[in-house]
Amino acid sequence: EWSRGNWSSGCFRTTPLQCQRDKNNGSEAGQGDNDGFLKLKTMKVPVFPNRSSINNGECKDQCMKNCSCVAYAYDAGIGCMFWSGDLIDMQKFSTHGVDLYIRLPSSELDKGKSTKVIVITAVIVGIVTITIIMLFLWCWMAKRRGRKQKHKQIRLQLNKGNAMTKFSSENVGENSIGVKLQQLRLFNFEELAIATSNFDHAKKLGQGGFGPVYRGILSDEKEIAVKRLSKASGQGLEEFMNEVEVISKIQHRNLVKLFGCCVEAEEKMLVYEYMPNKSLDTFVFELNPKIADFGMARIFGGDENQANTKRVVGTYGYMSPEYAIQGRFSEKSDVFSFGVLLLEIVWKLWNEGNIWSLVDKVVLEPKSNLKNEKEIRRCIHIGLLCVQEYANDRPTMSTVVSMLNSEISNFTTPKQPAFTQTPLITHDDQNRDSVNDVTLTDFDGR
């Protein structure tokens, strides 16, 4: 179209020159001071220029002062060239040509600068981001290679059994046996995943600080408990190896047995024997009913003999009278509760004429009724000693255990059990007064 003389197409201004706006508004500052020039290199200049013999610097100033000047160029052989109106027949050359300066408002020039800054910033940010990512990947791969190497060393250590030695019975007790690492089985991850149905949530037994524990069945039908190290636990390879070392050194008849472990890639697991009767906390915290205030003495310090409380908590009848009435508890409070429990068991069976059900049928001898009756009487005597009214008269739990084990044969005569409403004043408390926000309760003897 251009070669055929159709010059209707081409570039046009989106923003008028500042000098034109000032001139249209009647402003005296119609010199275009807020305009600038966009440099286009190696150009074929438009047709119909106005020429002048001034130098390059004067050429720019002359065009800036003339509001009708829309472009200028300078060539050493031709001199200064000006254009007014439309710029016709411009072309971009790959080489040679003349630098053409087109007049634009400053706002348009600032856009170009902003775009250039954005592009440069984006390029710099991209390069920095890629560099950081590459550095992170390199560190991660180096750390992974180091862990793999360390895992190989540990596996060799586990296989050779050179990491640990047996502990003597002096260190771990007569009921313990030392175990070398070579006696522990080294499981692989696939084997444990199959045994636990890919660590199915339905087979989860619980979770501790180390991680979750799953129930599993090995190919030989042996039931196991798999403790899997959790990433959220904050424990690493060192803590894992410490646990393997400690448990391997001590195998006790009252401790769960460690069968082996698994160290594979990021996975670290310990394989124990499975306990079908659950753990001790189930029996301690889930038994029903909760009897009295066993363990209440743990609240106060070990160097104190007794303590006071303003809130009575527990089942009346099982609580010691000094605690139920005065809010004072001590280690003898637990002794009282134990005595009530012991008497309840014995007395119920005694009244029903069924005292022999206390003795296991496996060890019961038909001709030992007299001996069994003595044992029942011993329990009743111990129970009465435990529920004496004054705490100072009650035996300690260690003494009770010795009595039950027949280590103490001479028992003192029990004093009156605590079922009265009289104020409790011990020999060393006769001159002390205390006020507690508790409710007085009537007690009936059992």
Q: Give the mean model confidence (pLDDT) for residues 11-25.
A: 77
Most confident by average pLDDT, 38-42, 214-218, 374-378: 214-218
Between CA 76 and CA 53 the distance in angstroms is: 10
pTM of full prediction above 0.75: no
| 212: enclosing H helix or E strand | strand 212-217
Contact 50, 66 (CB under 8 A): no
Q: Give the mean model confidence (pLDDT) for residues 349-376.
A: 59
Residues 178, 180, 182, CA angle at the centre, nearest 5°? 155
- Say whether 288-429 and 18-111 share the same fold: no
Contacts of 383 (CB under 8 A, 6+ apart): 339, 340, 342, 343, 346
What six digits make up the tokens of 134? 């590459």
The owner of tokens 């408390």 is 429
CATH for 169-281, options being 3.30.200.20, 3.30.465.10, 3.20.20.70, 3.40.80.10: 3.30.200.20
Range of lowest pLDDT (126-130, 279-283, 342-346, 362-366): 362-366
**What digits encode the pLDDT tens for the residues 410-420?**
888 888 776 54
CATH topology of domain 18-111: Hepatocyte Growth Factor (3.50.4)
The CATH class that applies to domain 288-429 reads mainly alpha
Between 423 and 330, the higher pLDDT residue = 330
Most confident by average pLDDT, 52-66, 272-286, 292-306, 421-435: 52-66
What six digits make up the tokens of 386? 């435990």
Q: Is the predicted pLDDT of residue 432 greater than 50, yes or no?
A: no
Domain ranges of the chain: 18-111, 169-281, 288-429
The pLDDT value given to residue 443: 46
The pLDDT value given to residue 151: 55
Question: In which band, very low, low, confident or very high, does the pLDDT at 298 lie, cut at 50, 70 and 90?
Answer: very low
Contacts of 352 (CB under 8 A, 6+ apart): none
**What digits encode the pLDDT tens for the residues 145-165?**
776 665 555 555 555 444 333
